[in-house]
Amino acid sequence: MQNTPWWRGAIIYQVYPRSLMDSNGDGVGDIAGIIDKLDYIASLGVDAIWVSPFFRSPMKDFGYDISDYRDVDPLFGNLDDIDRLIAEAHRRGIKLIIDQVLSHTSDQHAWFQQSRESKDNAKADWYVWADPSEDGTPPNNWLAIFGGSAWEWEPRREQYYLHNFLKSQPDLNFHNPQVRAQILSEVEFWLKRGVDGLRLDAINFCFHDQQLRDNPAKPVAERKGRGFSEDNPYAFQRHIFDNTRPENLGFMEEIRSLMDRYPGAVTLGEISSEDSLATMAEYTQGNKRLHMAYSFELLSDEFSAAYIRQTVETLEQGLGEGWPCWAIGNHDVARVVSRWGAGNQSPQLAKVLNAMLFSLRGSICSYQGEELGLTEASIEQHQLQDPYGITFWPRFKGRDGCRTPMPWSDEANGGFTAAVPWLPVPQEHLLRAVSVQDPNKDSVLNAYRHFTQWRKQQPALLWGDIQFYDLGKNVLAFSRQTAEQTLLAVFNLSAEDVRATLPSELNENGGLDPLTGHGFSGMKQAEVLVLPAFDAYFAVINQ
């Protein structure tokens, strides 16, 4: 497998810059803070880091509203800091992936400032503008994810502009070839600087229906899921005209054509559509679009062995030669041990969830703090920063609870800053701080490190095909197979001990040779696997 691209089977560690480490005492993390923690990140055994947006921005959506694609916001540092981050990461053998937010900009971007002034200036058609309906209302029924209409009135043009997110995030008009060419130029700026890949935010939102047709209503029974609370009317529609348009596939191919001029550079698309698994397959099809994509299926509240199996198998059936990427946590959803642990947020649950994620076929995104088993922080209303949570409080409390600063020590503010942190560090996180876990060989942190190193020695876990087995309600079991190794991985996802009877085919041809060194204690007794609560078993399947 020496010719396998570096990103296939890679573990990508997501850094949320505001919350990793504050180097200058202003209460907000920064690029220099990331550099300071590169040795720690390297100790985790990950292959790459994905850094969430650090570009110049008014921070209405914490960097996902970009006012200059080619500059670093002073809050985080400057371009020299980014160059140093790239160099220092590479010196440690770590690749660097950056966020690119292409579907929209900030309303403070120079392009939009010009576009909003008139209908006949050089940037007039760079954003999505539409005349009002006869009664002055918006041109159609499209809704914004963060609440309300997706249209905002601009009196200077006497037109509405489209915003799929906040009204301060106007959508670019990708039907305009000048816009596509300019965006590709913005992307190439960073490729020339030496980044190894791009995480493409909301990449299926680039194009809109030029006829501005209304989205159809969604039946009540289908409104749950996809990460939207029931009090958000966005869930009331089928979003078939405001995103995931067929024209977007051509733009994916334009991006890929650019990426192919930078050997080794990779694209990772974030997909949220009516059928995200089908869109993931479509967007990675034929080795001519995105290299890989991930969606929110395993970032949802739903948790069971059957659900994980169904999700992975559904994607595999449609993926063809495409390559998946999986995540169970990120900066947009509640911490996984709280989301999936319900009343049991034990360190052992964190260990088995990390190992399960690292054993799936594909590349992996692991969010900062998952190596510590961090729980969702409880944020009071007056402490909220996230506009999403501010709008939908109290039924949806926003995304601040997963964005709190990393606890490096059990001292005040977790050793993150000497100032008042931008979000509070919860007391319970101090008990799971790096300084507490580092000397403890049985900690979640050291289990994470141990497993990532062990995984590197298992070709089947890095690149192998996947096949699932039914071993019972709370048990997730599958094989991973390459030409050189076939490996069985079994996970008890419950808080109770489990005895699982092996299917006959796993006892034939020499049966199973248990593997050691992974840190779990599940064992085989005759034709039965004995798995303690939140534990796992690994073995070579003899062919």
Q: Supply 378's token pair.
A: 């409880």
* Strand residues in 52-131 grouped as ranges (E): 55-56, 68-72, 95-100, 129-130
Q: Looking at this protein, which amino acid is placed at residue 473?
A: K
Burial status of residue 217 (CB atoms within 10 A of its CB: 0-12, 13-18, 19 or more): exposed
Asked if 477 and 490 count as a contact pair (C-beta separation under 8 A), the reply is yes
Closest by CA position to 54, among listed 271, 185, 260, 199: 199
Closest by CA position to 245, among listed 279, 194, 294: 279
Q: Is 247 a catalytic residue?
A: no
Measure the CA–CA gap between 263 and 249, rounded to whole angstroms: 22
Burial status of residue 483 (CB atoms within 10 A of its CB: 0-12, 13-18, 19 or more): exposed
Task: Fill in the DSSP letter of residue 348.
Answer: H
Name, in order, each residue with C-beta under 8 angstroms of 461's C-beta and a sequence gap of 6 or more: 9, 358, 359, 455, 480, 487, 489
Measure the CA–CA gap between 187 and 260, rounded to whole angstroms: 13
Q: Is 201 a catalytic residue?
A: yes
Catalytic residue among 30, 171, 270, 535: 270
Question: 465-469 and 48-51: which strand pairing?
Answer: unpaired
DSSP assignment of 228-269, as one string?
--TT-GGGGB--SSSS--THHHHHHHHHHHHHTTSTT-EEEE
Catalytic residue among 61, 99, 107, 201: 201
Annotated catalytic residues are 201, 270
